[in-house]
Amino acid sequence: MSALTALDPGGQMDFVYLRDQLKVTDGNLGAHLSKLEEAGYVKIEKTFVARKPRTFIIATGKGRDAFANHISALRQIIKDG
């Protein structure tokens, strides 16, 4: 989510790029993304670019809000020491 929310709202990230950044397997990332998609935190779009299939991941508004809340909670824990 941190990589996805670094893009502008509505920004899409390639599945392969995300997998390489996180150093996980296709299956592992796919499983995580399915959970996030079920929760409505991400949207997965399959498309063709130059006749090659590409999968792009988008953080939804709900996902961005939940992630912002998570960061805020972490900051609160640090602040309260």
Partner 1 sequence: MDKTNGENLKESIQESPESAKDSLAAIENTMLRTRKAVAASYSSPLMILWGLLLAIAYTAAHFYLKYAAVIFWTMAGVGTAGSYLVWWRLLRKIPFKEPTEEKINLRLGALWWSLFLYIFIWLSLLAPFNGKQMNAFIITAIMFAYVVMGLWFTAYFMVWLGLFITAVTLTGFYFLGHYYCLWMALMCGGVIFCTGLYIKLRWK
Which residues form the interface with partner 1 (CB under 8 A)? 2-3, 5-14, 16-17, 21, 49-50, 56, 68-78, 80-81
Q: Min. distance of Cβ 77 from partner 1 in angstroms? A: 4
25 or 72: CB nearest partner 1: 72
The secondary structure element, H or E, covering residue 70 is helix 61-80
Closest alpha carbon to 3 in 40, 37, 14: 14
31 or 73: CB nearest partner 1: 73
Q: Which token pair is 33?
A: 């993304």
Note the Cα 11 to chain centre separation in Å.
10
3 or 39: CB nearest partner 1: 3
